[in-house]
Amino acid sequence: MSKQSLDENFPITVFGGPTALIEYGGLRLLTDPSFDAPQAYERAPGVFLEKTAPAAVDPATLGPIDAVLLSHDEHPDNLDRSGRALLAEVPLVLTTPSGAGRLGGTARALAPWTSVELTRPDGGTVTVTGTPALHGPEGCEPISGEVVGFLLSAPDLPSVYISGDNASLDVVREIADRFGPVDTAVIFAGAARTKLFDGALLTLDSALAAEAAVLLGARRVVPVHFDSWAHFTEGREELRAAFERADLADRLELA
């Protein structure tokens, strides 16, 4: 292994909402595909999720995707109609056990703390390990559903944590205890809130995202899930301010 390969910043391209392309070990991995035009989705009587901006890319121009890392399939801000169409063209979708059952096709269940090996173009492998995530306050799962995060690792590459929709620092501590420090953290932020939980956080707010970076020991933080949807209550400026207050501005990578 080379020191340079462990230290370099591999490309992560953020397209808006929770969707990002991670180019890692020669593999092209896409998180939570959300490409629909701006519109409103009714999630419960009188409860809407409103997309306010288009994605920064047309999925037809993405090129080949080796795998989709889908934190959950039940919410349109994480998997919309265009994203579902893309799944049919992808050789592997890693997601929750319940989501894999609903999606079928190339979807494969990845429960927390279980792992799969992906073959790299150079003949090596990347290990993808499922991590827990709590999409709201304690006891939220019957309403918010099952969510999974991901940990990417290889002997010659930096480690990468992808949080998925998680609102719990206790979950982050558990992941840090098992895998920390991690090199890069892709943190779903945005302080998402809806009426279903009386305004409780459904994802980390900006201050909690900075705390998560400290817990993980991450030298690079790429936030996603903080724009393009009306239920995201904090955005770019709040993230920048929170990381500056925590003296972590040099770790924050905002597109």
Q: What is the pLDDT of residue 142?
A: 66
Q: What is the pLDDT of residue 47?
A: 74
For 199-229, write each residue's pLDDT tens digit. Answer: 789 899 999 999 999 999 999 999 999 999 9
Query: Could you give the number of structural domains in the chain?
Result: 1
Q: What is the pLDDT of residue 140?
A: 60
For 61-70, write each residue's pLDDT tens digit. Answer: 999 999 999 9
Candidates 71, 27, 95; CA nearest to 192 is 71
Banded model confidence at residue 139, pLDDT cuts 50, 70, 90: low
Domain hosting residue 177, numbered range: 3-251
Question: How is residue 46 written in tokens?
Answer: 């009188």
The residues, ordered by sequence, that sit 6+ positions from 102 with a Cβ below 8 Å of its Cβ are 73
φ, ψ of residue 205 in degrees (nearest 5): -85, 180
The residues, ordered by sequence, that sit 6+ positions from 9 with a Cβ below 8 Å of its Cβ are 184, 220, 253
The residues, ordered by sequence, that sit 6+ positions from 117 with a Cβ below 8 Å of its Cβ are 125, 126, 127, 128
Q: What is the pLDDT of residue 3?
A: 33
Is residue 45 pLDDT above 80, yes or no?
no
Q: What is the pLDDT of residue 4?
A: 33
CATH number of the domain at 95, please: 3.60.15.10
Decide: pTM greater than 0.85.
yes
